[in-house]
Every structure is written in structure tokens, then in C-alpha cells.
Amino acid sequence: MSIRSEFRRLRPGDLVEVRSPEEILETLDADGTVDHLPFMPEMTEFCGRRFRVARRVVKTCFSGSISTILAFRSDDVVTLDGLRCNGAAHDGCQKACMIIWREAWLKKVEDATAPRPGDADGRGRLLTRLKTSTGPTTYFCQASELLKAARPLSRRERFGKCVSEVTVGNCSAFEMAQRVCIWLMWRARRIVRGAFARGRQAPTPVQSLNLRPGESIEVKPIEHIIETLNEAGQNRGLSFSPDMRLLCGARQQVKGRLDKIIVDGTGEMRHLKNTVALEGSFCGCSQIAFGGCSRHELAYWREIWLRRPAGSSNGSEPHAN
């Protein structure tokens, strides 16, 4: 029996081992994918290592040319605790997507302390089969192929997927009820009052703080942030989402700069300016996606929404450009 035909049903908390390069090669088609989902070069370093399943990917957000909710065409995908793409094989993409794993690439194990075998030769053979681009300016990765590997959900299907999130163990019924109530509240607010935190700027202002990873910053009060937004609640096309308001006034640490990211569905590399990620700050899908999603993407912060604490000597003075 082939690896792909074996039946598995992994659940959050299960201990799994990423299969060897040779075993993974057996699952891949000519494009290095399983049902259009690529096994990326950044994933090869995890072969033979053991991790806990974070969640089953029942549904996922898509933020390319359209914003919608998708479900993979086959119910065999999971995420693993803390494993994000580092973009090393994709020109240093800084999107840091949660890596999505087909169950065919994993096997359930019991012993977390067992030796982890290395296979440098097998890894090399696997790398030669994996694509990273489809043209001079387009990249090939899990984000670029989302629309091929998954399909949009109807409104009725989204309700069903919320139930599935509970039955597969991703969350409790109470947690799902909270997510749905939060979404309904913000949906009603958008209908009555329009976009959250909408401002009046056109065009929207820019500010550079030249922030660096590890720096301590403070998120500006919401009334100051509104002064940087247009009527759609955006600054240069980037939304200030409802969940981000919870950090207003809080001290945070810069996780890293966001200068370039691969766009969902197209493989285009989009260049950003004066934008950072903050430690522990992720997309608030409960506010914008019915029932939430499993991608757990980074939240993007314009530097104009942040400031260095009083008395800080880090970096340079802010300037507009």
C-alpha cells in the first residue's frame, strides 16, 4: 500500500514525525505537489523530526485578489506547532506563513525522545524535485497555489465547517460560539457604521521609524491611528483591523521588518515600506472570517501606527516621506 493511500486521521496534540525525503518523494507529482499543495524546500529541514499537531485545517483565509474562505479539496491537511516558512528558497519572502502539511508527509508516533535520523543525500534528491518559481517574477509556494489546492466555500458550507472545527478538536463549542458572536457583532457594525476606524485621509500619510527586530515600541492610541486612515479604514491599502485596536497603548516588541511578501494566489512578490510585525500579534480572523481560520497569519503594522517609548534612544528619529 502506498503512503498516500494509507488512512490517517490526525488530531490536535498528536505527536507526528515528518517522513524521510525518500518517503516524501513517493507522494509527489511532477510539480512537487500533492493535489496541488507544494512540498516546499523550506520544509526539508524538518524531515525526520517530531512535532505536535497544532490543528486540522478545516478552512482557511485567502487574501489575494479577493478575500474569501477556502477549504482544501481533500480533508488531509494539518499545521504543526510553531512551524512557519522562513522564505529562504523564495527570495527571502517575509510573510512567515504557517506551513500546511498533508498527512501523507507525516506519521503518527508515540516517543518524543526517539533518535531523529539524518539523510543528507535523500534531502538533496528531494530538493531537486521542488519548484520555487513559475517565471522570472512569479514564485511557486503554498500561498501561490492556494486557489488550486482549495476551493471557496458557500455561506451554507461555512456554517458546516464551524461545526467541523469543534468535532476535529480545533476548539471547543464555547470557543466557536464566541468566534461566531464576535463576527456577527463586527458584521453588524460594518453594515451600520461602515469600516472600522475609518478616517478621512486621501492620500494616507507615511512615516518611517526604521524599526529593528527586538526594539520595544508603543502602539499609538486609536484616535491617532484614525488620523492616518482613509474611509475604508486603510493606510496605503493596509487595513487597521478591529482586533488590532486591543493593542492600542500597549508596549510591544518588534518581531521583524516586512519588506516583501508573496501574494496569495498569484506568486507575485509584493514590496512593502515602513511595515513591521510585532511579537505575538496575529491576524484577528474572528472579526473578519466567519468562525476564524487556521492560517494564523502575522498582523501587519505600519510604522506610523507605532512610536518609540519616551526616552528611548533606539534607532533614528521618525520622518515622513
Query: Would you state the pLDDT for residue 119?
Result: 74
- Give CA–CA dist 186/175, Å, rounded: 17
Cβ atoms 36, 20 nearer than 8 A: no
The SS3 call for residue 238 is strand
Query: Would you state the pLDDT for residue 2?
Result: 46
Nearest partner of 51 among 91, 3, 19, 89, judged by Cα: 19
Query: Would you state the pLDDT for residue 321?
Result: 54
Cβ atoms 80, 54 nearer than 8 A: yes
- Give CA–CA dist 260/94, Å, rounded: 6
Amino acid at 260: K
Length of the chain: 321
Cβ atoms 149, 264 nearer than 8 A: no
- Give CA–CA dist 194/229, Å, rounded: 13
Q: Are strands 234-235 and 216-219 parallel, antiparallel or unpaired?
A: unpaired
Cβ atoms 18, 83 nearer than 8 A: no
Element housing 226 (H / E): helix 222-226
Query: Would you state the pLDDT for residue 317?
Result: 55
Question: Dihedral of CA 136/140/144/145: which sign?
Answer: positive
Cα angle value 165/168/169 (rounded, 5°): 85
Cβ atoms 144, 267 nearer than 8 A: yes
Quote the pTM value. 0.88
Query: Would you state the pLDDT for residue 5?
Result: 42
- Give CA–CA dist 137/27, Å, rounded: 28
Nearest partner of 126 among 105, 101, 103, 147, judged by Cα: 105
- Give CA–CA dist 305/248, Å, rounded: 9
Mean pLDDT by 10 residues, the chain (321 residues): 55 96 96 97 96 94 78 94 96 96 96 68 92 94 95 89 92 91 85 84 95 97 96 92 91 96 95 96 74 85 96 60 54
